[in-house]
Chains A and B, each alone.
Chain A
């Protein structure tokens, strides 16, 4: 290569990026210090050799394809860490704080034109983007975790009210659109205040946790349960009619009250009052259905607790 300025090579060695130049046969023509101190090849070692022979771990086909495209199209090709973490497996200084043992890289393949305006060489630059990569990945994890926390009730690990309502709302609009069915079951723990007063709030918490576990285990995968508030829970049952809802409600009532919850070796008897309803053939509204199940739930409370009541059996 003709060198315009005698000090260009020194400048290239000062760069905080990997720079090297190859021709269309992958013969190396330039290799800067940044590259040299990160692998076993100094400039003197590698210039004149075939790059792919020296680095057998390079993604050969990918490399050949991209080099070819630069030569033919005369425009640059790129590689980004988000799709391909690195081209050259270089060590990185953040193995302690970053949790990664290699350098994430953005690479750029730029055409170097000869006098006839054809591509004569390709200049490859390698940028260390490990810090950006680590920060971006942490941010992604954090966003996912925030999304999870935002939709989960911390105590019971069930969906919280706002997230459950959103799911139910979607389900109801799906039901309206495709003329499907959905049932809704809401239940409330009986005499919960008494449990809290008698055994303490930690015991009350344990009761809610146990109820959540028991219900989740006995429900089908498609059923969606949430903690509606305090000691009140809600479940919607996709593709389930009123008879199905009555069966599930009774099943839930049994698994809640048949076995006491043990707290510090004390058996605490629990029960729940349950109300349920079912969607109609059209024009369903999620708030209206919740209100119906709630009405049935209060009817169950008023008729002596620990029982299931259908909204269609309530006097309204």
Chain B
């Protein structure tokens, strides 16, 4: 973790707890949505400099090719407490299984695959962010999701020169439905000010304990 944002162990635990609760709610919602029991793994979280995103990504996802969806989020448009961009990364996705999961009977064309990626990441992102928002007593809005790339190599995921975010909070999620296991990685990229705000909230929450 970065020296300028030295999260204490308590703060990290609290953040982990917030994510756990958020994920728990997400899992419950997904179960109802898919009419199947959905288990979400306990998310493993990490905060790192956004510059190291690609390196971290390569460590977290061993797959050579990934598909990725981006989506913006913010509490306010002007001077937001929390804002940023989430990136959901899918690796080795079994689209036929995924289609069965969302009860799709269309032919799985490239457009249908993209739509599934958008739908699933919007759902996971929405569930995760609204869970977090609730814990932080904020209301978080999102922009429509869009595809960054489908079956692309990790290096071509981001344009490093144009990266405006300072920090990334990575939340590794695995969701298991019935006997099928899917996994994706959710990265919340945030500017300095948002991570600072997040830390301030954590400090307050930890103090209340």
Task: Give Cα A61–Cα B29 distance, bound, in whole angstroms.
Answer: 19
Known pairs A75-B130, A75-B142, A78-B144; A69 contacts B123 (CB<8 A): yes
User: Is A74 part of the binding interface, using a Cβ–Cβ cutoff of 8 Å?
Assistant: yes
Chain B residues with Cβ below 8 Å from A83 are 111-112, 114-115, 118
| A106 adjacent to B144 (CB under 8 Å) | yes
User: Does B114 lie within 8 Å of A61, measured CB to CB?
Assistant: no
Partner of B29, one of A65, A72, A77: A72
Residue in B112, B122, B129 whose CB lies within 8 Å of A78? B122
- Identify which of residues 49-94 in chain A touch chain B, using a CB-to-CB cut-off of 8 Å: 61, 65-66, 68-69, 72-78, 80, 82-84
* Residues of A close to B115: CB separation below 8 A: 83-84
What is the CA–CA distance of A77 and B12 in the complex, to the nearest angstrom? 31
A73 touches B103 (CB 8 A): no
**Neighbouring A residues of B119 by C-beta, 8 Å:** 65-66, 69, 77
* A73 & B29 in contact (Cβ 8 Å cutoff): yes
B114 x A82 contact (CB < 8 A) = yes
Q: Does B33 contact A (CB under 8 A)?
A: yes
B144 to A80, Cβ gap below 8 A? yes
Indicate whether A255 reaches chain B with its CB closer than 8 angstroms: no
* Closest Cβ–Cβ distance, residue A81 to chain B (whole Å): 11
Alpha-carbon gap, A76 to B73, bound state (A): 12
Instruction: Type the 1/0 row for B17-46, where 1 means its CB is closer than 8 Å to any CB of A.
Output: 000000000000100110000000000000
A77–B111 touching, CB < 8 Å: no
- Look across to chain B and name the residue whose beta carbon is closest to the beta carbon of A79: B115
Instruction: Please indicate the chain B residues that have their CB under 8 angstroms from the CB of A73 in the complex.
Output: 29, 33, 123, 126-127, 130
Q: How far is the CA of A247 from the CA of B102 in the complex (A)?
A: 57
Contact assessment for A80 and B118 in the assembled complex, using a CB-CB cutoff below 8 Å: yes
Within 8 A of A (CB), among B84-140: 102-105, 111-112, 114-115, 118-119, 122-123, 126-127, 129-130
Contacts of A270 in B (CB 8 A): none
Q: Tell yes or no: A195 within 8 A of B by CB.
A: no
Closest A residue to B25 by CB, please name it: A73
B61 proximal to A (CB < 8 A): no
For residue A36, CB closer than 8 A to chain B, the reply is no
Interface of A is mostly: mixed
**CB neighbours of A65 from chain B (8 A):** 102-103, 119
Q: How far is the CB of A98 from chain B (nearest CB, A)?
A: 20
Measured in the bound complex, the distance between the Cα atoms of B127 and A69 in whole Å is 10
From 112 to 145 in chain A, residues with beta carbon under 8 angstroms from any chain B beta carbon are none
Total interface residues on B, CB under 8 Å, equals 24
- Point out the residue from B103, B111, B123, B146 that lies within 8 Å of A84, measured CB to CB: B111
Cα separation A61 to B116 with both chains bound (whole Å): 13
Contact status A75-B127, CB under 8 Å: yes
Q: Is A108's CB within 8 Å of the partner chain B? A: yes
B27 to chain A, nearest CB (A): 12
Q: How long is the Cα–Cα vector from A287 to B103 in the complex, in angstroms?
A: 55
Q: Which residues of A contact B191 (CB under 8 A)?
A: none
Point out the residue from A61, A72, A78, A106 that lies within 8 Å of B33, measured CB to CB.
A72
B145 interface residue (CB < 8 Å to A) = yes
Q: Could you say which of A74, A75, A78 has the most chain B C-beta atoms within 10 Å of its C-beta?
A: A75
- What residues of chain A lie closer than 8 Å to B147, measured between beta carbons? 82
When distances are taken between beta carbons in the complex, the residues of chain A under 8 Å from B144 are 78, 80, 106, 108
What does the 1/0 interface line of B58-78 toward A look like (CB < 8 Å)? 000000000000000000000
With both chains docked as a complex, state the minimum distance between the C-beta of A290 and any C-beta of chain B, in angstroms. Answer: 29
Within 8 A of B (CB), among A216-241: none
User: Most chain-A CB neighbours within 10 Å: which of B123, B130, B145?
Assistant: B123
Q: Tell me whether A80 and B102 are in contact (CB under 8 A).
A: no
Contact A68 B130 (CB under 8 A): no
- Nearest-Cβ distance from residue A133 to partner chain B, whole angstroms: 13
**Cα distance, A249 to B18, chains bound together (Å):** 70
Closest-by-CB residue of A relative to B26 is A73
Output the nearest chain A residue to B111 by Cβ-Cβ distance.
A83
Please name all residues of chain B whose beta carbon is closer than 8 Å to the beta carbon of A74 when the two chains form the complex.
Answer: 130
Contact of A80 with B146 in the complex, beta carbons under 8 Å: yes
Verify B29–A78 contact, CB threshold 8 A. Answer: no
Cα distance A106–B105 in the bound complex, in angstroms: 23
Q: Which residues of A contact B105 (CB under 8 A)?
A: 61
Cα-based distance from A106 to B145 in the complex (angstroms): 11
User: By CB atoms of chain A within 10 A, which of B105, B127, B129 has the most?
Assistant: B127
Residues of A whose CB lies within 8 Å of any CB of B are 61, 65-66, 68-69, 72-78, 80, 82-84, 106, 108
Give me the interface of B with A, judged by CB distance under 8 Å: 29, 32-33, 102-105, 111-112, 114-115, 118-119, 122-123, 126-127, 129-130, 142, 144-147
Task: Give 26 pairs: A residue, B residue, CB < 8 Å, sorted on A.
Answer: A61-B103, A61-B104, A66-B119, A68-B33, A72-B29, A72-B33, A73-B123, A73-B126, A73-B127, A73-B130, A75-B122, A75-B129, A75-B130, A76-B122, A76-B142, A77-B119, A77-B122, A78-B122, A78-B144, A78-B145, A80-B146, A83-B112, A83-B115, A83-B118, A84-B111, A84-B115
